[in-house]
Amino acid sequence: MTDPAYDYDLFVIGAGSGGVRASRIAAGYGARVAVAEEYRVGGTCVIRGCVPKKLLVYGSHFAEELQDAANYGWTVEKMTFDWPTLRDAVAKDVDRLNAAYTNTLNSNKVEHFLDRATITGPNSVRLASGREITAKHILVAVGAWPVMPEFEGSEHCITSNEVFHLESLPRRVVIAGAGYIALEFAGIFNALGSHVTVVNRSETILRSYDASLRDRLLQITMARGIEYKFNCGIERVEQHEEGCLMVHMKGQPDPLPADAVLVATGRRPKTDGLGLENAGIELGAHGEIVVDELGQTTCPSIFAVGDVTNRVQLTPVAIREGHAFADRVFGGKDTRVSYDCIPSAVFSQPPLASVGLTEAQAREKLGSNVKIFTSDFRPMKNIFGHRPERGLYKLVVDAQTDKVLGVHLIGPEAPEVLQAAAIAVKAGLTKADFDATVALHPSMAEELVLMR
């Protein structure tokens, strides 16, 4: 398998979820593998994304849980919150995960360089330290990076990269964007006591999700105190001497005062300065690396996986792509990645989760041959909390075949419920199969099999 003409059989640029998985599997097949990572091992998800953000979500939930505790007989005195304690605990866990991912590379005999690597040719890279390295195959797995739009005062704003390191909890937060990152942080700061205003260029939040879930989330978050400014964007941000930021918006006469301005308007593949032109690698309209169905670029010896390809920007997808790449190239297996029925979730408050076709997508595809089943209920968890918030579960069904085409949920623990439901959708089960399943009572998940 190894080729003595090269320093390595595989050189991976980027030690995130996709790159680490590809490295580990390729090394397991006997390949000589090296990885270069310019910052920390683990990538966006582990270091500055899903994992630390989910820990902040958990931390913010205690505001609600502690308030509810009295209704369950608990006495909680002197309830206070200390942002540095939560921030530092999250940072400590990020350190743990960085060490764990590094150990994974070490235990699988993958050499790793904490250095930036750029491509110098079809089979060569150069480290920032100056070392030249050759490899039979190169895998680019550098992920994506937050987009910071150009406007006056943008240097006073932060992105999802910096939000984990705030010195103190901001009293007033303005968030630009209404995608999943924006709304997750809106929920976190709102629960922790900050006044949150979401500024969005359109009038739609979470564009890719079912309209019923979007509408329900908007209603609930507004009732919780999150304010929205639709059809406007940030025009400029001014910093006053006392540290206050004034956010001026297009079409809005009055600026918004803020202590922090979080820009969450999208992520762009991190391809700048990688030297891709040295190997004739084609880029797409958004700077993404163009690949075929097997992850191969326009240079036959170079492949790409994960967010840098801008196909599906989800960690589990990057992991599957990296694994499949190693299986094919080094394991002799024709492993493919299915992009059909990929589940996703937004850890907003409350969270929502979806898999398969939305109602609008199904009607566009099947016309009138669509049946919709819903359960609009008050979760038992909310009863003692005196919150009127209602959960909503929705099934999208093919009226001719009875096949469940989509499942869409909003309510407490919706992502946990959705993972199992995604298996059913992926397997092609019918509404009759759902109906034939005995309910697990009392649970929110039982609503999936009780819709008639």
Catalytic residues: 441
- Secondary structure (3-state) at 9: strand
Q: Phi then psi for 22, rounded to 5 degrees? A: -60, -40
- Nearest by Cα to 374 from 388, 355, 392, 399: 392
- With contact defined as beta carbons under 8 Å apart, do 252 and 232 qualify? yes
How far does Cα 25 stand from its chain's mean position? 24
* Number of other residues whose CB lies within 10 A of the CB of residue 81: 15
**Torsion sign over Cα 271, 272, 273, 279:** positive
What is the rounded CA–CA span in Å between residue 152 and residue 3?
53
Which of the 8 DSSP states describes residue 202?
S
What is the rounded CA–CA span in Å between residue 20 and residue 143?
12
What is the rounded CA–CA span in Å between residue 362 and residue 346?
21
What is the rounded CA–CA span in Å between residue 424 and residue 433?
9
Cis preceding-peptide flag for 257 (omega within 30 of 0)? no
Is residue 181 classed exposed, middle or buried when 0-12, 13-18 and 19+ CB atoms within 10 A define those classes? buried
CA dihedral of residues 180, 184, 190, 194 (deg, nearest 10) = -90
Structure tokens at 272: 């700048």
